[in-house]
Chain A
């Protein structure tokens, strides 16, 4: 489904990686590894189309993502370092907006269910600025539940999460893969999903 061929990426004068090729099909889980500064985030941002690759191409369902553009974006969710939450709005409003930007109209019932699933019962209508870092991350992750997209690209999804939330994420990823989803992620914490083989890609 997702195919990367001879990808190269530069930042300024610096070549991060080149000749990178891999593919990902339904139900697969891929962890991108590498030391700091080896280009993990740049790779994920290239997969999102933010960065135009210096060489090589990225294909989704056989077509270049540059040509697919909006069709590709309809089938992916990206969660970066930043949570994309507004301090002034509450968790529910934030979720409505982030789902809307991803192209999904969500009603209150679904949004509240997603927030409660992420362990935010009773926090739904609090402004995000009073939530802790871990709780903010949970609000951001709730987006995964309301967007019906097969490809998840997660950059350090586990930062600031406690043990319980990490377990929840493993469960979520497992369910998503079972539904023929695909996940590419980076993390510095161990993440194991029962019954799924974890593929690793190391940037050196």
Chain B
């Protein structure tokens, strides 16, 4: 059984490592989030044009950025898993997907909340919001495909291929939606005004950093569960203290 040991060694060591790392990302994330929200809601000045409602961007913008980056990272991991047949990368890809989808959803939700006072409508067919919606669909497709295949190996490989096709398509979709939007003279959200107050920047960056740390912490925690589930029949899982109790 020399072969199996070699194959399983990576997830086993990573399981332990991830367990140690999670708190190191989770606590700073909570702290930074608290700081960012405090600055954003109490320190940052009221916007001259948009009033108080603009404050939602402190959550909206970081989650939009995260949802896009996480898709690319997910596709990258999926591609690694497909090409080099490394099981851990595929597990990382499936662990990232729900977090990415969550950020896409938060971004849409906060976008709608922001749209109501700004445009007087919950949903405006703005280029970025529409792209974000399609991104959410892509995440959901990935999760749905992975969930409906019973054999984990086939599930990993099939959804990896989908993620790669999706990431080739994302720029095309983004471009086409922008094109469509300019043709229909829709209004485009412009957050980056001429001058952004220092406190605004501080709030934005600390929430963004908090979101990154949160994404890493949650992904590591989730990949631990995935490893346990996939490796439940192996020796090392049986020997874990948490499995024995």
Contact = CB atoms under 8 A, between A and B. Distances in A.
B152 A8 contact: no
A164 interface: no
B20 to A, nearest CB: 27
Q: Which of B1, B150, B232 has the most CB of A within 10 A?
A: B1
A142 B151 CA distance: 35
B3 A55 contact: yes
B233 A13 contact: yes
Contact of A8 (B3, B150, B153, B232): B3
Contacts of B1: 18
A18 B232 CA distance: 20
B112 to A, nearest CB: 43
Given A12-B151, A12-B152, A18 B3 contact: yes
A54 B3 CA distance: 9
Contacts of A15: 4
Question: In which size bucket is the chain A interface?
Answer: under 10
A76 B1 CA distance: 32
A18 B4 CA distance: 10
A13 B153 CA distance: 10
Interface in B1-35: 1, 3-4, 7
B27 to A, nearest CB: 36
Interface string A5-25: 000100111010010000000
A13 B231 CA distance: 8
Contacts of A55: 3
A13 B4 CA distance: 11
Given A11-B151, A12-B151, 7 more contacts: A8-B3, A12-B150, A12-B153, A13-B233, A15-B4, A18-B3, A54-B7
- In order of increasing CB-CB distance, the 4 nearest A-B pairs are A55-B3, A13-B233, A12-B151, A8-B3
14 contacts: A8-B3, A11-B151, A12-B150, A12-B151, A12-B152, A12-B153, A13-B232, A13-B233, A15-B4, A18-B1, A18-B3, A54-B3, A54-B7, A55-B3
